[in-house]
């Protein structure tokens, strides 16, 4: 139960910070969501840092990793987890699987958003 609470709290902090960064920055450029882009890249950097420190064993505890990587980065951006998971394909030289997974994740994700919008539009 303690671990679930750590993930919950970290996710809350990450979500609020994403909002505070994205809200003022997204309207700055036409057709480019600067705030979301920055959050995604910062989230990727942070999840790499947190999981790298966790892998060293003595720098971040398991609970700290849950709070920071799973909770905070998960709430801040799910893109960070997506990017980190693709690292395993690169590390293992599985470039074909990497390409298929990335293309299908992005493509199907966009199609799912379109489908969700279509469904919402047609619900009475």
Structural domain harbouring 47: 2-77
Residue 95 lies in a domain: no
Nearest to 82 by CA among 106, 100, 52, 64: 106
DSSP per-residue letters across 1-20: -HHHHHHHHHHHHHHHHHHH
Is residue 58 in some structural domain?
yes
Domain contains 90: no
Residues 8-30: tens digit of each pLDDT = 999 999 999 999 999 999 999 88
The answer to whether the annotation marks 43 as part of a ligand binding site is no
- Digit-coded pLDDT (tens) for 56-111: 878 899 999 999 999 999 999 878 878 888 888 899 999 998 999 889 989 998 99
- Yes or no: say if 66 and 3 are a contact pair by the CB < 8 Å rule: yes
Per-residue pLDDT reduced to its tens digit, 30-47: 878 899 899 989 999 999
Q: Is the pLDDT of residue 124 over 90?
A: no
Residue 81: the pLDDT is 76
Question: What's the domain count of the chain?
Answer: 1
In a domain, 12, yes or no: yes
Domain annotation covers residue 36 = yes
Judge whether 106 lies within some domain: no
Secondary structure E strands in 1-124: none
Q: Is 70 annotated as a binding residue?
A: no
**Residue 28 located in a structural domain:** yes
In a domain, 14, yes or no: yes
The model carries a pTM of 0.78
């Amino acid at each position: 139960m303690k671990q679930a609470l750590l993930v919950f709290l970290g996710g809350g902090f990450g979500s609020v910070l994403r909002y505070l960064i994205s809200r003022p920055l997204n309207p700055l450029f036409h057709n480019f969501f600067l705030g979301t882009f920055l959050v995604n890249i910062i989230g990727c950097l942070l999840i790499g840092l947190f999981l790298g420190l966790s892998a060293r064993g003595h720098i971040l505890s398991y609970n700290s990793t849950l709070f920071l990587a799973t909770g905070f980065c998960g709430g801040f951006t799910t893109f960070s987890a997506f990017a980190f998971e693709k690292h395993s394909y690169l590390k293992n030289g599985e470039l074909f699987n990497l390409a298929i997974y990335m293309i299908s994740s992005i493509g199907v994700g966009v199609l799912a958003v379109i489908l969700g919008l279509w469904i919402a539009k047609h619900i009475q």
